[in-house]
Amino acid sequence: MQHLFDRLKAAAAPEWLAYTHHAFTNAMGDGSLPEAAFRHYLVQDYLFLIEFARAYALAIYKAPSLADMREASAGVAAILDVEMDLHVKLCAGWGLSPANLERATAAPEMLAYTRYVLDTGMRGDLLGLKVALAPCVIGYAEIAARLAAVPGALAEGNPYRVWIAEYAGDAYQQVAASARAQLDRLGARYATPAREAELVTIFREATRLEADFWEMGWRIKA
């Protein structure tokens, strides 16, 4: 039987293509992305990670089992204690200090996606929340794997090689694989045929909002 994530992706194929093959991502692969665009993205991604941690905290409350609670708790710890620190170090390499990040104003596109995820989670169950998060968690792994195969993408001369290597690496690819597996487990419990139509709607909208996140950065040219 086809995995739940694959069914959702197929049902939202145009939105998924627009997101995973956005010009912003392609320009990271060939190194042509304007540096100002990437800096703007980095700042907003820092703010996004804060909201991402809130979503995982909500997942603890929504979890139907102790195992799911522990998985969500580990996600919160990984974001707050590991990923945030790594992101701050990445930002420092682009001339962005912790003070720059903390003073930053949230862009409407960042707020739109994170508020959608949190609202979906508050209104529904853990499956709905995880479907809303899937374009980010699983999508980044797919995007980075695609970019890593671009000739020269991981070469010393590409300023975006660190981002690509991080998300294309084994550690993050395993995070994405675990997210796919959890969707299958939750889907087996909750996803009736009628419910799956609702999940497609959530996934499609979340994917569209993720594409808007790329577009936000792409509009910054200098």
163 closest CA partner among 218, 86, 53: 86
For residue 207, the model assigns a pLDDT of 98
Phi, psi for residue 191 in degrees, rounded to 5: -90, 85
Tell me the C-alpha to C-alpha distance, in Å, between residue 106 and each of 49, 113, 115, 218.
12, 12, 12, 16
38 closest CA partner among 158, 204, 192: 158
For residue 192, the model assigns a pLDDT of 81
Domains of the chain: 4-218 (1.20.910.10)
Tell me the C-alpha to C-alpha distance, in Å, between residue 136 and each of 99, 103, 192, 194.
26, 24, 24, 25
For residue 116, the model assigns a pLDDT of 97
Q: How far apart are CA 117 and CA 124, in angstroms?
A: 11
Angle at 137 between CA 131 and CA 139, to 5 degrees: 95
For residue 91, the model assigns a pLDDT of 95
The answer to whether the Cα torsion of 205, 69, 141, 7 is positive or negative is negative
Q: How many CA atoms lie within 13 A of 146 on its CB side?
A: 15
Q: What's the pTM?
A: 0.94
**Residues 121/125/128/129 CA torsion (nearest 10 deg):** 40
For residue 222, the model assigns a pLDDT of 54
Per-block mean pLDDT, blocks of 10 residues, the chain (222 long): 91 98 97 96 96 96 94 93 91 94 95 97 96 96 97 96 95 94 91 88 98 95 62
Return the active site residues: 136, 210
For residue 190, the model assigns a pLDDT of 84
Q: How far apart are CA 62 and CA 72, in angstroms?
A: 10
For residue 212, the model assigns a pLDDT of 97
